[in-house]
Amino acid sequence: MYEGLPVSAEIAASSVELPLFDVIADGLTGRGFVVLPLALPPALSEALLLRVTSLGDEAFRRAGVGRERDFQLNRFVRSDEIRWLGSADPAEAQYLAWMEQLRQAINRRLFMGLFDYEAHFARYLPGAFYKKHIDAFKGRSNRVLSTVFYLNGGWQEADGGQLLIYGDDDSVVSKVTPLMGTLVVFLSDSVPHEVLAAQRTRYSIAGWFRVNGSINAQIDPPR
Ligand code: OGA
Ligand code: MN
């Protein structure tokens, strides 16, 4: 099914009922976020890195803040560039398939009613950052669960680009190195976070599980 990827990297639905999903569910219930090193099959991480690094500059566009009429480019808030994932590329398709397994596993465990998932590659060129924010405002978005997956080999402290996760009292509760294979999952409406300026090119995949906020059969809101 996923041509060009090693068989070991294939995601068979039956093999993905991982203890990992229990760890994620428990982490979300307990602290609202969870950080998992080496979450996905290494061959899949490598294929995703190959994919994102093979994309030319024209494949990316500057990331904005907000959606549709609220959409604005704001270099003071964020300066990364993005490209949405689709099912045409085998590595991207496999990533989305893994997230579909996670979606079902979370729904079974936490009854969150996760309905679909959208994700984009993000490229932070040297100097790029994303200031402290939350991904969804309570009651105003159907994004409920965020994922960030990192694709950077040999990332050092001095390379910057760490993900800071804030607690209720504005203190930093976790500082995540954006190292190849690390997955972060957190509640979209209650976990403030920030990306420190990267000192070298930094790749991640940010994604969101959404609940169905549709009216009259229209999936709402679009990206
Ligand atoms: C985002 C985001 C974090 C990261 O895209 O909303 O917070 O570490 N990304 O890339
Ligand atoms: Mn975010």
Q: What is the CATH number of the domain that holds 87?
A: 2.60.120.620
DSSP class of 94: H
Residue 199, in any domain of the structure: yes
Amino acid 153: pLDDT:
97
Amino acid 216: pLDDT:
46
Residue 20, in any domain of the structure: no
**Domain range enclosing 54:** 40-65+74-210
CA 133–ligand 2 middle distance (angstroms): 6
Q: Quote the number of domains for the chain.
A: 1
Residue 9, in any domain of the structure: no
pLDDT per residue over 78-128, tens digit each? Answer: 999 999 999 999 999 999 999 999 999 999 999 999 999 999 999 999 999
As for ligand 1, residues whose beta carbon falls within 6 Å of it are 122, 130, 135, 148, 163, 178, 193, 195, 204, 206
Residue 28, in any domain of the structure: no
> Which residues have their alpha-adjacent CB atom under 5 A from ion ligand 2?
135
Which residue from 81, 146, 177 has its CB within 8 A of the most atoms of ligand 1, so it is best to mutate? 146
Amino acid 132: pLDDT:
96
For residue 21, how many other CB atoms are within 10 A of its CB? Answer: 17
Residue 2, in any domain of the structure: no
Amino acid 74: pLDDT:
72
Q: Which residues of the chain have pLDDT under 50?
A: 1-2, 7-14, 216-218
- The separation between the first and the last C-alpha atoms of the chain, rounded to the nearest angstrom, is 28
Amino acid 76: pLDDT:
79
CA 186–ligand 2 middle distance (angstroms): 10
Residue 143, in any domain of the structure: yes
Amino acid 211: pLDDT:
94
Amino acid 152: pLDDT:
98
Amino acid 15: pLDDT:
52
Q: If you take atom 1 of ligand 1, which residue's CA is the nearest one? A: 206
Amino acid 2: pLDDT:
45
Residue 17, in any domain of the structure: no
Q: Which ligand is nearest to the CA of 81?
A: 1
Q: If you take atom 8 of ligand 1, which residue's CA is the nearest one? A: 163
Rounded (5°) CA angle 167-171-177:
85
Q: Which ligand is nearest to the CA of 164?
A: 1
Torsion, Cα 189 191 195 196, to 10 degrees, reads 140
Residue 49, in any domain of the structure: yes
Q: In what order do the strands lie in the sheet with 116-124?
A: 33-36, 183-187, 143-150, 202-210, 116-124, 81-84, 61-62
